[in-house]
A and B are shown apart, each in its own frame.
Chain A
Amino acid sequence: MVELVRGEEMFSHMLPEFIVERREDRCIRCRVCERQCAFEVHKYDKELDMVFSDEKKCVGCQRCAVLCPTDALVIRPHPGEYRRNANWTRERIQDLKKQAETGGVILTGSGNDKPYRIYWDHIVLNASQVTNPSIDPLREPMELRTFLGRKPDALELRFNGGDYEDVEVATELYPNVMIETPMVFSAMSYGAISYQAFKSLAMAASEYGTLFNTGEGGLPKELRKYGKNAIVQCASGRFGVDPEYLNCAAVVEIKIGQGAKPGIGGHLPGEKVTLPISVTRMIPEGTDALSPAPQHDIYSIEDLSMLIYALKEATNYETPVSVKIAAVHNVAAIASGMVRAGADIIAIDGLRGGTGAAPKIIRDNVGIPIELALAAVDRRLREEGIRNKCSILVAGGFRCSADVVKAIALGADAVYIGTPALVAMGCTLCQKCYTGKCNWGICTQDPYLSRRLNPEIASKRLVNLLRGWSLEIKEMLGGMGINAVESLRGNREHLRGVGLEDWELEVLGIKGAGE
């Protein structure tokens, strides 16, 4: 363990990240900003009847600016700069100073914010012209329904006479889960996020007919009624796993890795393990919830297979089992092994996947972009003739419905959306999730803060997000002359690359624009 040097023993060299501009002519001293900021930026001085700001504490979450009744506040990046230097950027210098002052690992939240190439922005979609009519989704059915799970190679049917409507399916089917749109909410555990945020995701998934993911923090008893819309995780800490938890769920997911921190475990500090969280996670109140980096019963692919079948046994083979990994260099071969080990769904989380807390150095440097990982996995499974033996779920940095459409065309069955859901609920990507002081009431266990999030309203926002994206997906499908999302799946003919190198086109399996 690194012994931390206490901040107060030295004078901090850090520059503030944000500047708080208060337009005094507008400020009415209502003290909303003071009450809203858990970072204690704003302070009202009664004697002077003025509000002061401690800018060094500001994280730029914009809560105060949004709630200020007179729009008196402007929060923007601090203009104070070091001498410009392409190598030693402000961020690098600040990180060095922070470490010199603390001697620790720098933590951060949400997804990788570095300018790695975003392939979605270099892929364009097709549309029908002349030879093939586009379809208007406002006037004609446009189908997004999706099934997640293993599919057989062929069906055996039993006919009764010559009536082909009266047919029995003789093949015993693997369990599949039906979702009404090819988007599900990413894994965010109760503990990492507030009860209110967690419940909002469950409510929205249930209302829209899709899934949310419990993450590894269990599913509170009273929320098990949302089980048929839940992907429940069985992760390295095994928190909250009991037979009812597994059997109430639509999907059971084994979490091997996370895109934001491949190869790294999790750590929910004891102060966040409140009574309800301790009950849900089945650990003593106030103890640290440590998720080991690997699952200690899975050191190899055959170990994974044993856990997959243990979970299938536990759920009577009625629930698909998903295995989630981070996108790493060898992802295609690993995915193939996972399918052969019995996974019904493989979930891949890319370089830009989010997190509640991760070492910044890991978040920003480990893993590969989801676009390339997805293309490689889909190709590999097809080459091996096992693509229909699993569904592919992808996660990590999906920003808009076009990203979803492009992912499906590359070969995904559905897409995990995490950050967009958080943003829909209020998140502004200040990246301070690990502090537990989320002013938006999402990533905190402080009841004073989490109360700010009303699940009725937040779930409405989430449903609106799903609806908006679904409508946009339908528009794009219709434009391509497709009225069922299945006909887009793996349909790389509808994608073209712009500004990509040959090797990138090759990995993505798409042509360049104009080809």
Chain B
Amino acid sequence: MSMRRMRRETLPDKEHQACGLFGVMNRKGERFGGRMAIDALMNMRVRGNGLGAGFAAYGIYPEHKDYYALHIMFQDWDLDAKREVDKFLGANFDVVCDEEMPTNPEASVINPPLVWRYFMAPDKKGDEKRLSDDDYVVKKVMHINTRIKNAYVFSSGKNMGVFKGVGFPEEIAEYFMLEKEYRGYIWVAHSRFPTNTPGWWGGAHPFCILDWTVVHNGEISSYGTNKRYLEMYGYYCTLLTDTEVMAYAVDLLMRRQRLPIEIVAKIFAPPMWDHVDIMDEKRKKLYMTLRMVYAPLLINGPWTIIVAHHGEMFGITDRIRLRPITAGEKGDLLFVSSEEAAIRAVCPNLDRVFTPMGGEPVVGRLKGVEKELRKKAEEGV
């Protein structure tokens, strides 16, 4: 408590109401601690109400980087659920290491659940051998989330992890000891002002499937449409929040259908027809076709998201900019945030600050990934 009060004196107070988003990436892949993410969210304190906060960090488990790292939460310390999960994982994976998540019992959080982490490799049998490793893991994660009561998978990617819960960001960071324990090259963070869904540990952001994480500010008015379309592709929304559909939509389009974010942005937040109608024929065809085919994944209503996976982080806001987004650069660091002040609070001397248009993505890529993409594009794939 005392620490929090001290911080508030040095960082300016503001009057806004919404969720707070922040993402920072080192585009050379150099790893750093969670301090910037924590401070940025503390700067945006009024965007949360202490009912949920969370962090995703990439590159944190180099010693286990070839294994899927599952962070699993057991509501109310339900040990029956844990036994069931252990049995299920044992039957479907080679678990190379599992342990209780290191936590700080002194941290001021209320009712923390048991959180366990597992490092494991798929052990596919029979028909499931046809699935790719990733699809296999998605299927098993869906099983745990939908079939095993009181067990929820926080994250399921390699060499990354999600840490989240009910509390203010600094409390969650303190509970999971983020500053001391972990170093990553991407940090994405979220502070929550829950409105339409109850504040519970599983409902905090980021949402994660494999190594894809999504943090979101807003309320999706197209939720029912998006959700029912995703159901056709085997995604079932169980976490009681509309951010989940974002995560699954990103997974479907980017991982399974391999569309780059620059295209996905045109699907999530397409330009108005008035703009499309005056484009040249080739662009018009592209935009019309995307809209025609992917209309059920147009994300309507006010939203800003920051999405990350290995090698890439991007931020994007809705087609008519009903939620804020600002980006900043300093050397190899790329920042995306709900507010410029939060970026400046952790990095005062920025090279560049800019506010993208609605639907225009801010993309950060690892230098290697960038090169690979360009090569692919040149080959016309």
Contact = CB atoms under 8 A, between A and B. Distances in A.
Contact of A482 (B301, B374, B377): B301
Interface in B143-197: 195-196
A26 interface: no
A385 B232 CA distance: 5
A289 interface: no
Contact of A167 (B286, B291, B296, B374): B286
A152 interface: yes
Interface in A149-207: 151-152, 154-155, 157-162, 164-169, 173, 176
B300 interface: yes
Given A140-B320, A145-B273, A169-B289, A382 B298 contact: no
B282 interface: yes
B195 A164 contact: no
A444 B218 CA distance: 56
B272 A132 contact: no
Contact of A488 (B225, B259, B285, B291): B225
B257 interface: yes
B232 A388 contact: yes
Nearest to B222: A487
Contacts of A487: 221-222, 225, 298-301
Interface in B277-336: 282-283, 285-286, 289-296, 298-302, 319-320, 322
Nearest to A173: B289
A294 interface: no
Contact of B219 (A132, A145, A168): A132
Q: Is the interface of B mostly helix, strand, loop or mixed?
A: helix
A167 B283 CA distance: 8
A235 interface: no
B237 to A, nearest CB: 11
B99 interface: no
Interface stretch (A2-10, A419-427, A459-467, A489-497): A489-497
Nearest to B219: A132
Given A160-B380, A488-B225, A165 B283 contact: yes
B380 A158 contact: yes
A503 to B, nearest CB: 21
Interface in A465-493: 480-484, 486-493
B221 A157 contact: no
Q: How large is the interface on B (under 10, 10 to 19, 20 to 34, 35 or more residues)?
A: 35 or more
A387 interface: yes
B128 to A, nearest CB: 20
B298 A161 contact: no
Given A132-B301, A155-B293, A482 B222 contact: yes
Contacts of A152: 293
B314 to A, nearest CB: 13
B228 A494 contact: no
A382 B320 contact: no
B43 to A, nearest CB: 23
Contacts of A145: 273
Contacts of A159: 260, 376-377, 380-381
B295 A489 contact: yes
Nearest to A494: B224
Interface residues of A, number: 48
Nearest to B279: A165
Contact of B302 (A132, A176, A489, A492): A132
Contacts of B223: 491, 493
A317 to B, nearest CB: 17
Nearest to A489: B225
Contact of B231 (A141, A382, A482): A382
Contacts of A166: 282-283
Interface in B354-381: 373-374, 376-378, 380-381
Contact of B196 (A131, A162, A382): A131
B296 A169 contact: no
Contacts of B351: none
Interface in B254-268: 257, 259-260, 262-263
B272 A143 contact: yes
A391 B323 CA distance: 33
B292 A490 contact: no
A154 B232 CA distance: 13
Interface in A121-157: 128, 130-133, 135, 140-141, 143, 145, 147, 151-152, 154-155, 157
A151 B294 CA distance: 9
A168 B286 CA distance: 7
B293 A128 contact: no
Nearest to B373: A162
A493 B293 CA distance: 22
A165 B259 CA distance: 14
Task: Find the residue from A161, A486, A492 having the highest chain B CB count within 10 A.
Answer: A486
B106 interface: no
A483 B377 contact: no
B286 A481 contact: no
A491 B301 CA distance: 13
B9 interface: no
B301 to A, nearest CB: 5
Contacts of B289: 155, 169, 173
Interface centre among B224, B233, B291, B296 (most CB of A within 10 A): B224
Contacts of A176: 292
A176 B289 CA distance: 10
Contacts of A147: 292, 295
B274 interface: yes
Nearest to B277: A145
Interface string B193-230: 00110000000000000000000001101111100110
B76 to A, nearest CB: 26
Nearest to A409: B224
A132 B303 CA distance: 9
B273 A141 contact: yes
A154 B233 CA distance: 11
Contact of A490 (B195, B225, B298): B225
A345 to B, nearest CB: 14
A385 B296 CA distance: 14
Contacts of A489: 225, 295-296
B296 A388 contact: yes
Contacts of B233: 385
Contacts of A168: 282, 286
Given A165-B283, A486-B298, A481 B377 contact: no
A238 B291 CA distance: 36
B228 A382 contact: yes
Contacts of B381: 159
Contacts of A388: 229, 232, 293, 296
Nearest to A146: B295
20 contacts: A131-B219, A133-B322, A145-B273, A147-B295, A155-B259, A161-B378, A164-B260, A166-B282, A167-B286, A169-B285, A382-B228, A388-B293, A486-B291, A487-B225, A487-B298, A487-B301, A489-B225, A490-B224, A490-B228, A492-B224
Interface of B: 195-196, 218-219, 221-225, 228-229, 231-233, 257, 259-260, 262-263, 270, 272-274, 282-283, 285-286, 289-296, 298-302, 319-320, 322, 373-374, 376-378, 380-381
Those 9 A-B pairs whose CB atoms lie nearest each other, nearest first: A487-B222, A491-B224, A493-B224, A486-B295, A164-B262, A487-B300, A481-B221, A132-B219, A491-B225
Given A132-B221, A162-B374, A481-B221, 7 more contacts: A128-B221, A141-B274, A164-B263, A168-B286, A385-B232, A483-B319, A486-B296
